[in-house]
Amino acid sequence: MAPSPEATITRPNFVILLIDDAAFMDLGVYGGEAATPNIDTLAARGVMFTRYYTSPLCAPSRAMLLTGVDNHLTGVATIPEVLPPEHIGQPGYTMELEPGVQTIAARLKPLGYRTLFTGKWHLGSGEGALPSDHGFERSFALDASGADNWDDKSYMPYYSDAPWYEDGAPADLPDDFYSSEFIVDRMISYLEETDETAPFLAYLGFQAIHIPLQAPAEITAKYRGTYQDGWQALREARWQRAQELGLVPVGAPLAPMPPDMRLWENLSEEEQALYAARMAVNAAMLEAMDVHIGRLIDHLKASGDYENTVFLVTSDNGPEPTRGDNDWRLRLWMAMHGYHIGLDGIGEAGSWAFIGPEFAMAAASPGNLFKFYGAEGGIHVPMIMAGPGLPENIRQDALVQVTDIAPTFLEMAGAPAASDGVAITGRSILPLLTGTTETVYGLDEPIGIEVSGNSALIRGNYKITRNQRPWGDAQWRLYDLRQDPGETTNLAAARPDLMASMLADYDVYAEGMGVLAVPEGYDSHAILTRNTQLRQLRTYWWVPVVLLIFLLALLWGAWRLARRLRHTQQT
């Protein structure tokens, strides 16, 4: 039974545990293969949400989580890596938190909260744009979409290095660095170094399970046989498990694998072993993160803070579909920077592992598609909340979204309503958590989501969605999520009035939030490739210059040699 609102403890501590690119069913309590006992224990102690929605890309989700404001109003409408030239510098598309946008850290700090940050930031770089500029008292932050998990280096050509900052100043990593371990270690040290009598907000942005997938070999070994039957088998197994757990209705259809994806049986035995091993590292990286989350929990128990701490566990978006073996430029860059994509030492230092689109599609089961897209696989992710005054061992099926987190925490802390700055667009879910209401959004209240043309609008049990290239066709579709959570049957033709009504709601959302339409034929992969090449050219401009000088020197030498030979022949 849920406690009364009066039972809610004021001024609790807050711990945000943000996973990178985890699918809805990746965690053990949601039916995933990875062992996540510490997260599962938090779920048993609190509330496990089954209809929580985020954005399809990391930075917009993080902006909304930290501010409670729609991503277009924060300035982080999308990520820099897929920003088309037409949107550069436009309001809402500056790729950093814009003036007037306040984080929960900035709102809690005046109330006496310690505000602490470790891990991935990706919300702007340089002067005025780092966590230390947005309310965090202490921070050790990665200002990039990702980085290596074993070494202090970049993970892809888009970045020349791994830009880590401590309290706003460039920082180095320890020699024994492993990302999940270090993120927890540094947070524990911040908790010990700051006023231990004051409440705190602790935000941990894990690199797990963003590419490159990397994990300790002894944990990876546990999953070596788990994925040997391939992606279609995994997709169907998770779908069956989702029905058994009541996450989807029994008999709910499962979307087929897209026709452009490879068939598992068409891979060679060596390719099958390699991809199965990559998924093993994926699971191991989740387990390794959970192990270190357990160390943080143990610390909070030892310090006496555990019972008065509200924990949030969620993911920024669905699973990552990027491949690292189908682009010669990326493979060349890897070779030049000490990476390999082979089976030997997979997941260890120097390994650049990935699951690819097929296993991403399988991981997203019972949803459709994955990260980047407005389909269920891209935006429907796990969320767990546990702590003082909240019900225990409850599964919550009400619709909630990422912008609802910040106002919920602020209400729990007793923060006064802000009188200035950009207004919060989310809603507090505290009445839902304390049992005074059964819903946050009524059946006729729409919630809109858009990132780089990948869009969704959910109203009650219905959803319209539009997915851009390369895995979509930029066409709107209508689904009944109650009966068809896998998005297999487009109802647009059968329900034209409903479709028109929801499209009108989306237009209201887009206009109100300042959504810019993407250019005709927009393809996020093509834009990513273009932006990466431009970034590489700016970073490594000297390489073609040196090659050109070398080539000119060779030509000049050849010309001198030819002249000498002609002179010799004439004499």
Q: List residues with catalytic annotation.
A: 58, 122
Block residue for tokens 């050109």: 548
Q: How far apart, in whole angstroms, are the C-alpha atoms of residue 117 and residue 183?
A: 9
The tokens for 151 are 């070494």
CA 485 from chain centre, in angstroms, equals 21
Q: How far apart, in whole angstroms, are the C-alpha atoms of residue 360 and residue 354?
A: 10
Q: How far apart, in whole angstroms, are the C-alpha atoms of residue 203 and residue 223?
A: 29
CA 100 from chain centre, in angstroms, equals 25
Q: Is 540 exposed, middle or buried (0-12, 13-18, 19+ CB in 10 A)?
A: middle
DSSP state of 172: P
Q: How far apart, in whole angstroms, are the C-alpha atoms of residue 556 and residue 502?
A: 68
Contacts of 423 (CB under 8 A, 6+ apart): 69
Kindly provide the residue ranges of all beta strands, DSSP E only, lying in 195-291, ordered along the sequence: 200-205
Q: How far apart, in whole angstroms, are the C-alpha atoms of residue 331 and residue 318?
A: 25
Dihedral pair phi/psi, residue 469, rounded to 5°: -70, 155
Dihedral pair phi/psi, residue 314, rounded to 5°: -160, 180
Q: How far apart, in whole angstroms, are the C-alpha atoms of residue 338 and residue 315?
A: 30
The tokens for 324 are 């690292």
Block residue for tokens 């860059």: 333
Q: How far apart, in whole angstroms, are the C-alpha atoms of residue 473 and residue 471?
A: 7
* 177 C-beta neighbours (distance < 10 Å), count: 17
The tokens for 507 are 């237009």
Contact present, 275 and 341 (Cβ < 8 Å): no
